[in-house]
Amino acid sequence: MRKRLKGSAPERPRGVPQRAAETELVCYVRDGWTPRVAPASPRRDWMNATPDSFAYRCLPLAIANTHGWEMLSPVGFKARWHGGDHVGAVEIVLDEGADPAKAPTSLFGSGTITFHVDGILRTSEGWNLWVGGPPNAMKDGIAPMGGVIETDWSPYTFTMNWRFTRPDVWIRFEENEPFCFFFPTPRGVLERLKPELRPMEDEPELLRSFDAWRDARLAFQAWVKKAQPKAPADQWQKLYYRGLHPDGKPGPGDHEAKLRLSPFRQTGSRRVCPVRHDETGRGE
């Protein structure tokens, strides 16, 4: 048996089907279903409200916001949980004129509300779908639940569920507000990984690079505190954002500072998504 080097990518077990290097993503829609699906929005109200929209300079946050697609609520409504585990403990009040057939429901009890997803999402062989709430879009009084679904073979729909965090608090979803966020993820990789903990001095180049960045960051923060620059661009170093090493050398060529995901194209015999997409791919 060939010996695997420590820290290398895990080998695929014998007998496991070969996973596609990339995946397709198709939403199959039955007659009468009207899913509202769009590339995830980069914007967050609380990030907009930070001074000079400073939160958007955190690239990991910004990338996470757009790292998938969203299902949008077909109705506006408010809801509250009165406490208790029975399904009747959740009260849902729809906006005037909203279609009750498209409304979320109290299906499982235990302080949850359930959104039905109008579509069967399919991926290529060996690819799952990670499903949850929109990243960095916190709602007071309720939190999204997450799941991982084998969408390369499953002929079943799934639901998106949110759970109240405390009773007797009204929460609200606007029409076209995201209630579900999803993206493909390869199956089987995590379980085969063999994570390691190593002293940083075992990797001298990494240690030198980190120490250089730490010293430069401390010096930069001291300068900002003293000089108090007015221009927002002068208030942060932007090394990671630009994909640069501490010495200014470029990082990987595929460094991502923005994601531009494609909208779901209409490819069948009838239009099935009522959401129009603008030039950025964001639903309107």
Alpha-carbon span 127 to 193, nearest angstrom: 17
> What is the pairing mode between strands 159-164 and 112-116?
antiparallel
The pLDDT of residue 230 is 82
Is the model's pLDDT at 10 over the cut of 70?
Answer: no
Q: Is the pLDDT of residue 284 over 50?
A: no
3-state secondary structure of 51: helix
- How far apart are alpha carbons 185 and 188 in whole angstroms? 10
Q: What pLDDT score does 4 carry?
A: 41
More confident residue, 91 or 276: 91
Q: How far apart are CA 143 and CA 138, in angstroms?
A: 7
State the Cα–Cα distance between residues 213 and 114, nearest whole angstrom: 46
What does the chain come to in residues? Answer: 284
Residue bearing the bigger pLDDT, 21 or 150:
150
pLDDT score for 276: 65
Average pLDDT of span 250-276? 86
Q: Assess contact for 72 and 283: CB atoms under 8 A.
A: yes
Which stretch of 76-90, 101-115, 173-187, 229-243 has the lowest confidence by average pLDDT? 229-243
pLDDT higher than 60, residue 219: yes
What pLDDT score was predicted for residue 271?
A: 76
**What is the 8-class DSSP label of residue 269?**
S
Mean model confidence pLDDT for the chain: 89
| Mean pLDDT on 141-156 | 97
Query: Over the Cα atoms of the chain, what is R_g?
Result: 23
pLDDT > 60? residue 258: yes
Cα–Cα distance list, 120 to 33, 69, 274 (Å): 10, 14, 17
The rounded distance, in Å, linking the Cα atoms of 133 and 179 is: 6
Residue 242 pLDDT grade (very low, low, confident, very high; cuts 50, 70, 90): very high
Would you say the pTM of this structure is higher than 0.85?
yes
- Report in angstroms the alpha-carbon separations of 175 from 71, 94, 147: 11, 10, 24
* 11-68 per-position pLDDT tens digit: 656 666 666 778 899 999 999 999 999 999 999 999 999 988 999 999 999 999 999 9
Give the angle subtended at the CA of 138 by the CAs of 137 and 143, to the nearest 5°.
120
Q: According to the model, what pLDDT value does residue 6 have?
A: 47
The residues pairing with 77 across neighbouring beta strands, listed in sequence order, are 94, 173
